[in-house]
Structure 1
Amino acid sequence: MDTTRVSSTAFDGTPHAPAHARKFVRQVLGEWRLSHLAEDAVLLTSELVTNAVVHAGTGVELTCRLDVTASPPKLEIEVDDRHPARTVLAAGPAPEPTRTSGRGLALAGMLADAWGVTYTRTAKRVWVRMEISDGCDVQEAAPAPPSAAPIETLHVGVIVADRDGVVRSWNPEAEKLLGWRADQAVGRSLERLVAWRGHGPHALSLADTLGLGRWRGEARMRHQDGRLVPVYVSHLRSSRQRCSIWMVVAADHAYVLTPPPAPRLGGAGRRIKDLLDQDMPFAELLDTIARIVQVSSGGDAAYVLLAAEGGNRFGVAAGAGATAGLVGVLATGVFGAERTTPTMIEDLLAVDVELAQQLRARSLACAPLLAGGELAGYLVVTAAQPDRFDQELTVSLQHIAGQVAVPVQRERLAEQDRAHRGRLSFLAEAGELLAGVHDEELIAALTAQLVVPKIATWAAVYLTDLAGMTRLAHVWHSEERHNADLRKSLPAIPRTALSEVSWPVGPETVLSFPLLTQGRSHGALVIGRTEPTLPLELADLLSDLCRLVALNLHTAMLYARQATTSRVLQRSLLPMRVAPMPGLESAVVYEPAEEGAHVGGDFYDLFTVADHWCFALGDVCGSGPEAAAVTGLARHAVRLLAKEHYTVADIFDRLNHALLEEGEEGRFLSLLCGELTPLPQGGALCTIASAGHPPPLLLRPNGKVEPMASPQLLLGIESGARFYVETFELAPEELLLCVTDGVTERRDGDRLLDDGDGLAELLSGCAGLSAHAVAERVRHAVETFAEEPPQDDVALLVIKASPR
Structure 2
Amino acid sequence: MDTTRVSSTAFDGTPQAPAAARRFVRQVLGEWQLSHLAEDAVLLTSELVTNAVVHAGTGLELTCRLDPNAIPTKLEIEVDDHHPTRIVPAPGSPPPGGMATTGRGLVLAGMLADAWGVTYTGTAKRVWFRMELDKACGHESASRIPAPAPAAIATSTESLHVAVVVSDHEGRIVTWNCEAEALLGWPAAQVVGRPLAELVAWRRHGPCALSLSDTLGLGRWRGESRMRRLDGGLLPVYISHLRTDGRAQDRRSIWMVVSNDHRYVLAAPPASFKREPGGRIKDLLDREMPLDELLDTIAQIVQLSSGGDAAYVLVRAEGGSRFGVVAGSGATAGLVGVVAAGVFSTEQKAPAMVEDLLAADVELAQRLQARSLACAPLIVAGEVTGYLVVTAAEPARFDQALTASLQHIADQVAATVQRERLAEQDRAHRGRLSFLAEAGELLAGVHDEELIAALTAQLVVPKIATWAAVYLTDLAGMTRLAHVWHSEEHHNADLRKALPVIPRSTLGEVTWPVGPESVLSFPLMTQGRSHGALVIGRIEPTLPLELADLLADLCRLVALNLHTAMLYSRQATTSRVLQRSLLPMRVAPMPGLESAVVYEPAEEGADVGGDFYDLFAVGDHWCFALGDVCGSGPEAAAVTGLARHAVRLLAKEHYTVADILDRLNRTLLDEGEDGRFLSLLCGQLTPLPQGGALCTLASAGHPVPLLLRANGEVVPVATSQLLLGVDGGARFYTESFELLPEELLLCVTDGVTERRDGDRLLDDDDGLTAILSGCSGLSAHAVAERIRQAVESFASEPSHDDVALLVLRATTALRAGQVVNR
Note whether the superposition's TM-score is higher than 0.5: yes
Aligned-partner residue type, residue 671 of structure 2: E
Q: Are residue 287 (structure 1) and residue 296 (structure 2) matched?
A: yes
SS of the counterpart of 2:674?
A: coil
The DSSP-based 3-state class of the residue aligned with 2:669 is helix
**2:626 maps to what in 1?**
617
Segment of structure 1 superposing worse, 312-321 or 702-711: 702-711
- TM-aligned CA distance change 1:406 to 1:609, over 3 Å: same
CA contact (8 A) 1:269 1:400 kept: no
Corresponding residue of 2:350: 341
Match of 1:373 among 358, 365, 382: 382
- Residues 682, 100 of structure 1: CA spacing in aligned structure 2 closer, same or farther, 3 A cutoff? farther
5 Å-filtered alignment, 1:352-751, equals 352-504=361-513, 506-698=515-707, 706-751=715-760
What secondary structure sits across from 2:287 in the alignment?
coil
Whole-Å Cα distance in 2 between the matches of residues 367 and 284 of structure 1?
Answer: 21
Secondary structure in structure 2 of the residue aligned to 1:791: coil
Tell me the equivalent position of 1:109: 110
Report the CA distance shift for 1:348/1:525 in structure 2 as closer, same or farther (over 3 A): same
Deviates more, 1:665-674 or 1:504-513: 504-513
For residue 326 of structure 1, give the secondary structure of its aligned residue in structure 2.
coil
Mapped contact 1:265–1:297 kept (Cα < 8 A): no
Deviation (angstroms), 1:59: 3.7
Distance 1:311 1:725, change over 3 A: closer
Q: Tell me how far 1:340 sits from its aligned partner.
A: 2.0
Mapped to 2, the partners of 1:398 and 1:45 lie a distance apart of 23
Q: Does 1:305 align with 2:308?
A: no
Q: Is the 8 A contact 2:310 2:331 kept in 1?
A: yes
In structure 2, what residue type is equivalent to 1:546? Answer: C
Letter in 1 for 2:353: M
**Structure-2 separation of matches of 1:79 and 1:751:** 94
Secondary structure of the corresponding residue to residue 404 of structure 1? helix
Per-residue Cα deviation, 1:172-216 (whole angstroms, up to 9, x for no partner) = xxxxxxxxxxxxxxxxxxx99999999xx9999xxx999998999
SS of 1:305's equivalent in the other structure is strand
Q: How far has the Cα of 1:79 moved from its partner?
A: 7.1
1:43 maps to: 43
Q: Which amino acid aligns with 1:109?
A: G
Q: Give 1:117 deviation, angstroms.
A: 8.1
Q: Which residue pairs with 2:187 in the alignment? A: none
CA contact (8 A) 1:269 1:399 kept: no
TM superposition shift of 1:304: 1.5
Deviation at 1:613, TM superposition (A): 1.4
Say if 2:139 is the partner of 1:130. Answer: no
SS in 1 for 2:555: helix
Residues 14-35 of structure 1: per-residue CA shift (max 9 Å, x gap): 7x67556656766787899987
Question: CA 1:752 to 1:510, structure 2 compared with 1: closer, same or farther past 3 Å?
Answer: farther
The one-letter amino acid of 1:581's match is M
Superposition deviation, residue 792 in structure 1 = 1.8
The answer for the alignment partner of 1:226 in structure 2 is none
CA displacement at 1:605 relative to structure 2: 1.4
In structure 2, the CA distance between the partners of 1:88 and 1:468, relative to structure 1 (3 Å rule), is farther
- Distance across 2 between alignment mates of 1:669 and 1:270: 90
8 Å CA contact 2:324–2:544 kept in 1: the answer is yes
Inter-CA distance 772–7: structure 2 relative to 1 (3 Å threshold): farther
Letter in 2 for 1:112: A
Q: What does residue 11 of structure 1 align with?
A: 13
How far the C-alpha of 1:759 sits from its partner, in A, is 4.6
Shift of 1:692: 2.5
**Contact 1:83/1:122 (8 A) holds in 2:** no
Count of aligned positions: 718
Contact 2:37 2:278 survives alignment (8 Å)? no
Distance 1:327 1:782, change over 3 A: farther
Q: 2:221, 2:401 within 8 Å by CA — same for their partners in 1?
A: no
Matched letter for residue 110 of structure 2: G
Counterparts of 1:766 and 1:47, CA distance in 2:
93
Say if 1:9 and 1:61, in contact at 8 Å, map to a contact too: yes
Compared with structure 1, are the counterparts of its residues 502 and 269 closer, same or farther at alpha carbon in structure 2 (3 Å cutoff)?
farther
Contact 1:287/1:318, CA 8 A, preserved across alignment = yes
- Deviation of 1:390 (Å): 1.2
Structure 2's unaligned 5+ residue stretches are 95-99, 149-167, 169-174, 183-195, 201-213, 223-241, 253-267, 815-822
Alpha-carbon separation, structure 2, partners of 1:20 and 1:697: 104
More divergent stretch after superposition (591-600 vs 668-677):
591-600
Q: What is the CA–CA distance in structure 1 between the aligned matches of 2:430 and 2:776, rounded to whole Å?
A: 67
1:175 equivalent in structure 2 = none
Secondary structure of 2:624 counterpart:
strand
Cα deviation, residue 753, structure 1: 4.3
| Contact preservation (8 Å) 1:214, 1:236 | no
For residues 117 and 688 of structure 1, the distance between their equivalents in structure 2, rounded to whole angstroms, comes to 107
Shift of 1:791: 1.7
TM-score, normalization by structure 1: 0.75
Write the distance in 2 (CA, Å) between the matches of 1:688 and 1:119: 110
Contact 1:291 1:302 in 2 (8 A): yes
Which residue of the partner structure matches residue 186 of structure 1?
none
Equivalent residue letter for 2:608: V
- Tell me, yes or no, if the aligned pair for 1:344 and 1:364 is still in contact at 8 Å: yes
Distance 1:312 1:209, change over 3 A: closer
Equivalent residue for 2:92?
90
Q: Is the 8 A contact 1:61 1:81 kept in 2?
A: no
Q: CA deviation at 1:638?
A: 0.7
Q: Is the 8 A contact 2:747 2:806 kept in 1?
A: yes
Q: Within 1, Cα distance between the matches of 2:52 and 2:640?
A: 77
Tell me, in whole angstroms, the C-alpha distance in 2 between the residues paired with 1:688 and 1:18. 101
- Aligned positions of 1:71-82 closer than 5 A: 74-77=76-79
User: CA 1:33–1:277 in structure 2 vs 1: closer, same or farther (change >3 Å)?
Assistant: closer
What TM-score, normalized by structure 2, do the two folds share?
A: 0.74
> Using the alignment, how far apart are the partners of 1:477 and 1:77 within structure 2?
42
CA 1:269/1:515 → structure 2, altered by over 3 Å: closer, same or farther? farther
Task: Tell whether the 8 Å contact from 1:100 to 1:284 is kept in structure 2 after alignment.
Answer: no
Are residue 799 (structure 1) and residue 808 (structure 2) matched?
yes
Query: CA distance change for structure 1 residues 390 and 71 in 2, over 3 Å: closer, same or farther?
Result: same
Provide the secondary structure at the position in 1 that maps to 2:346.
coil
Moved more, 543-552 or 36-45: 36-45
Q: CA deviation at 1:354?
A: 0.8
**2:629–2:636 Cα contact (<8 Å) kept:** yes
CA contact (8 A) 2:11 2:17 kept: no
TM-superposed CA distance for 1:634, in Å, is 0.9
Amino acid of the structure 1 residue aligned with 2:470: V
The residue type equivalent to 1:451 in the other structure is: V
Is the alpha carbon distance of 1:411 and 1:460 closer, same or farther for their aligned partners in structure 2, counting shifts above 3 Å? same
- Secondary structure of the residue aligned to 1:799 is strand
Larger deviation, residues 503-512 vs 361-370: 503-512
Whole-angstrom distance in 2 between the partners of 1:779 and 1:262: 92
> 2:160 — aligned with what?
none
Cα deviation 1:254-298 (Å, max 9, x = unaligned)? xxxxx9998547556953333332222223222221111111111
